Structure 1
Amino acid sequence: MDPKDCASPGLMDESSLDRWEVIGSGGFGQVFKARHVHWVWDVAIKILHYDNGSNANALLREAELMRRGESPYVVRVSGVFKGRLPKGGPSVHVGLVMDYMEQGTLADLQGTMCGPPPWPLAFRLTHQVALGMNFLHTLSPPLLHLDLKPNNVLLDSSLNVKLTDFGLARSYHSVSRKSKGVSMEEGGTACYMPPEAFSIFYKPTCASDMYSYGILLWSILTGEKPFSNAFSSLVRLRIPEGDRPSLDEINTGQAEGLGALVKMMCQCWATEPQRRPSFLGRTASATKGVGGFTSQY
């Protein structure tokens, strides 16, 4: 039976997977590439840190949530792994089993380029991220991403976008806050987090994701990391005060429609959440065909 036809993701253990290879790591944990012995294709497994014994059930619920609908711009979750890692000792680990993306992440792509990608690709990336986020926010109830950044934008063999880690930040944050030595940045990188996230009264909304999208747009259009020379402690202080990445390096005359995209980007990172646009139709349509490029790359 093709796993794509399964009604819900199930539990997998080490007996289902072979040829393990570490392909990445981050605040959540390590990411492995492995061959599923029954499906006979490669999958990606994101293994989480700080397992407290109840993560498997939480991840099953999260995986079910992530499979409520399908979008070409959202990574597909095949199941939940619970088992031992190769050379990992007797400890039992849990994680999500997902489609393996050949080109890695947007962050990987940016690391291989000097400056931004060609404008046709840059516009297409911004459009596809908006479509993926629009899909998540129009689910009922809306599914918040809460950790939108280049590391969580996967790219397939044709450099098409597939969002990952959406909603996972929420369940991970509830676990990691109880774990000693875990910083708040591990539930969402500081320079992509909205001003309200640095308040002890923070309650995330769809507008929180919109802010992160605005910062991601800047990163795509410049090819740089926001606030790359600033300490995270300073970033946390200055973002609520209104500091944003510089627009000096974006020449809006370089491509048709770039000026409109930059204007929308600045609206996305407004300090007041109510001033930010919505992904519902407006952002997706605003980035579609900007400069006539999105269908040409």
Structure 2
Amino acid sequence: MLAKVLEEPERGEFFARREDEAHSLVNLLQAILDYASLSPSLKRRFTSALIRLSSKSGRFPDCMVLEEVTRLGEDPVAAGSFGEVWKGSFYSEVIAMKVLKVYERSNVKELLKRFSAEIIIWRQLSHPNLIPFYGVYYLNASKTRICLISPWMQNGNVVQYLRREPDIERSYLMLDIARGLEYLHSGKPGIVHGDLKGENILITSSRRACLTDFGLASARDSELIMSSSTPNARVTGTLRWQAPELLNYEAENTRSTFASDVYSFGCVGYEIYSGEIPFHEVKSDYYVMQSVTRGARPPRPPLSLCQTRGLDDTLWAILQSCWLKDAAARPTAEYLVSRLRAMPRNAEEKTTPAAHGWDRLTRSRLSHSLVDHPLSCSAKVVQEWKQLSLFEDWEA
């Protein structure tokens, strides 16, 4: 059985496949995840295997490739180290197009390996407090310009939103963020975000907060994935939001963890209530790194600001617990959700559904835009891999 193969992640012939062979395998794995009735343990194995094979081969399933996408405007609306964000349209919905940066054709393969894990991970997620992933679109026929498609958030990120709406109830947003983080961490396998900050939290049309930008995300399951899908995750997260253990560059095999995500959550809380980035008074990132490793943490905002924005002693204590030097002593995302839900300011929120801020019909239209549905070739794929003796006991 295929499941038997996946129980042995070190089996070289499975994860060493490349090019068309790897492409066929990721198609099959995604088809099984989408349409097979799997036990939680099997689903975990298939998901982990798909992430690992995709990140090694730079291949992702055909069902994620979209057509009927149009780029709008003459200029990008944002840019970062990864590339540019453009506004676009997909059928009748306005979308965000995250165009990945590549300067030479030779870089495309490595770029795909870096972002294939993000693509695969994002595709498996579904939660009201996570921005959904629509698919991948190629900007040119040679497939050297790649972009990731998701809904367009007109309200922008939480930092921009709070500048325009300073009187909004901020505890709702904190609870939304904690819920999104809880969903990531509680999955099978659990997902470490790795780059949680205000710029990576978008606000829907229904004024709810959603996590996005899983460029540093990695699936964590000690039995199935032993290495991060992004090996340099510990050095590429935004420094001022990073936990002290990630700033120790002399330590070996330091990676983002659930606990470092919780530390970043505390820094996001500081952003939301202070209106400033952590250690905004310090210009040098190097001095911030030195200060954090020595125990410095963001100071509480002025009393007048705390009273206006609802940062009471209880909530400030929660944020401080996220910054404990001992990573094991920090609260879990689940605990953060329970504490935030219990706060009087969030009493009304308990009866308010975390409504989606995007067109739910769009995801149902995706099947009409697929370049090639994986199940259309599954039988052929199984026969091909039977010949390679990988699925000796597989029954199509």
TM-score with structure 1 setting the length: 0.80
TM-fit CA distance, 1:270: 1.0
Alpha-carbon distance in structure 2 between the residues aligned to 1:82 and 1:109: 31
Give me the CA root mean square deviation: 3.1
TM-fit CA distance, 1:65: 1.7
Match of 2:96 in 1: 44
Provide Cα deviations, 1:20-42, integer angstroms capped at 9, x if missing partner.
45221223221111012xx2211
Match of 1:152 in 2: 200
Match of 1:70 in 2: 126
Contact 2:71 2:88 in 1 (8 A): yes
Matched, 1:123 2:171: yes
Alpha-carbon distance in structure 2 between the residues aligned to 1:142 and 1:173: 13
TM-fit CA distance, 1:10: 1.4
Match of 2:42 in 1: none
Matched, 1:27 2:27: no
Structure 1 unaligned spans of 5+: 1-6, 178-182
Match of residue 235, structure 1, among 288, 294, 300? 288
Match of residue 108, structure 2, among 45, 50, 53? 53
Match of 2:216 in 1: 169
Provide Cα deviations, 1:84-116, integer angstroms capped at 9, x if missing partner.
49xxxx993223111111101112124446xxx
Contact 1:195 1:240 in 2 (8 A): yes
Contact 2:72 2:89 in 1 (8 A): yes
Contact 2:262 2:333 in 1 (8 A): yes
Point out the more displaced range, 128-137 or 156-165: 156-165
Match of 1:284 in 2: 337
Matched, 1:216 2:268: yes
Q: Secondary structure at the match of 2:86?
A: strand
Q: Cα gap change, 1:173/1:222 in structure 2, threshold over 3 Å: closer, same or farther?
A: farther
One-letter amino acid of the structure 2 residue matched with residue 204 of structure 1: S
TM-fit CA distance, 1:64: 2.7
TM-fit CA distance, 1:254: 5.9
Contact 1:268 1:277 in 2 (8 A): yes
Match of residue 71, structure 2, among 18, 23, 36? 18
TM-fit CA distance, 1:283: 0.7
Alpha-carbon distance in structure 2 between the residues aligned to 1:41 and 1:290: 37
Identity fraction in percent:
23
One-letter amino acid of the structure 1 residue matched with residue 213 of structure 2: D
Matched, 1:190 2:239: yes
One-letter amino acid of the structure 2 residue matched with residue 153 of structure 1: I
Q: Cα gap change, 1:289/1:164 in structure 2, threshold over 3 Å: closer, same or farther?
A: same
Provide Cα deviations, 1:199-244, integer angstroms capped at 9, x if missing partner.
2332221001000000111111122222123111111111111111
Contact 2:71 2:87 in 1 (8 A): no
Match of 1:4 in 2: none
Q: Cα gap change, 1:233/1:111 in structure 2, threshold over 3 Å: closer, same or farther?
A: farther
Alpha-carbon distance in structure 1 between the residues aligned to 2:197 and 2:208: 16
Provide Cα deviations, 1:121-164, integer angstroms capped at 9, x if missing partner.
21001000000000000111111111111100000112211110
Contact 1:56 1:80 in 2 (8 A): no
Alpha-carbon distance in structure 1 between the residues aligned to 2:81 and 2:303: 31
Alpha-carbon distance in structure 2 between the residues aligned to 1:289 and 1:198: 33
TM-fit CA distance, 1:59: 3.5
Greater fraction of residues in strand: 1
Q: Cα gap change, 1:56/1:127 in structure 2, threshold over 3 Å: closer, same or farther?
A: same
Alpha-carbon distance in structure 1 between the residues aligned to 2:231 and 2:150: 21
Match of 1:99 in 2: 151
Structure 2 unaligned spans of 5+: 1-33, 35-60, 219-227, 353-396
How many aligned residue pairs are there? 272
Alpha-carbon distance in structure 2 between the residues aligned to 1:79 and 1:61: 13
One-letter amino acid of the structure 2 residue matched with residue 278 of structure 1: T
Match of residue 320, structure 2, among 260, 266, 271? 266
One-letter amino acid of the structure 1 residue matched with residue 137 of structure 2: F
Q: Cα gap change, 1:157/1:253 in structure 2, threshold over 3 Å: closer, same or farther?
A: closer
Alpha-carbon distance in structure 2 between the residues aligned to 1:137 and 1:50: 31
Alpha-carbon distance in structure 1 between the residues aligned to 2:347 and 2:148: 31
Larger Rg: 2
TM-fit CA distance, 1:275: 1.4
Match of residue 138, structure 2, among 78, 82, 89? 82
Q: Secondary structure at the match of 1:22?
A: coil
Alpha-carbon distance in structure 2 between the residues aligned to 1:250 and 1:139: 38
One-letter amino acid of the structure 1 residue matched with residue 269 of structure 2: L
Q: Cα gap change, 1:98/1:192 in structure 2, threshold over 3 Å: closer, same or farther?
A: same
Alpha-carbon distance in structure 1 between the residues aligned to 2:229 and 2:84: 16
